[in-house]
């Protein structure tokens, strides 16, 4: 009995590893505009020029009605892509990473 309790307490103390997720065709927003109700409801209307102008606030995606921020690596990757895109709005991305609360530890992000 003591052995079973010991094993159970050790297993309970070990944190579960975060698993990688992929978000496909997710709406991209900068953090500043994501807080605006209009943009959260219609993220496809968010213009590329605004996303570039608000780059310092960082980027993220709308997923399941919630805004998930990118980590520093993700912000750098998408900022580079935004600078070279010809898209003017309807910014969609595919993100590979690990969700950590309301932040994504980004492995890769690409404009769709």
Q: What is the reported pLDDT for 39? A: 87
> Considering its fold, how many domains does the chain have in total?
1
Q: What is the reported pLDDT for 65? A: 85
Domain region containing 59: 19-111
Indicate whether 38 belongs to any domain.
yes
> Torsions phi, psi of 35, nearest 5?
-80, -10
3-state class (DSSP) for residue 71 = coil
pLDDT tens-digit profile of 50-94? 999 999 999 999 998 899 999 999 999 999 999 999 999 999 999
pLDDT tens-digit profile of 7-57? 455 555 444 555 799 999 999 999 999 999 888 889 999 999 999 999 999
Indicate whether 14 belongs to any domain.
no
Indicate whether 83 belongs to any domain.
yes
Distance, CA of 44 to CA of 35 (rounded, Å)? 15
Indicate whether 13 belongs to any domain.
no
Indicate whether 7 belongs to any domain.
no
> What is the CA angle 24-49-94, rounded to 5?
10
Indicate whether 3 belongs to any domain.
no
């Amino acid at each position: 009995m003591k052995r079973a309790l010991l094993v159970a307490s050790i297993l309970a103390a070990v944190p579960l590893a975060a698993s990688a997720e992929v978000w496909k065709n997710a709406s991209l927003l900068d953090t500043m505009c994501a807080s605006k109700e209009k943009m959260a409801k219609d993220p496809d209307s968010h213009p590329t020029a605004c996303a570039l102008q608000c780059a310092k606030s960082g980027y993220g995606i709308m997923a399941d009605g919630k805004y998930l921020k990118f980590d520093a690596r993700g912000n750098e990757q998408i900022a580079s892509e935004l600078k070279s895109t010809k898209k003017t709005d309807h910014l969609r991305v595919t993100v590979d990473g690990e969700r950590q609360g309301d932040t994504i530890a980004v492995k890769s992000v690409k404009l769709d």
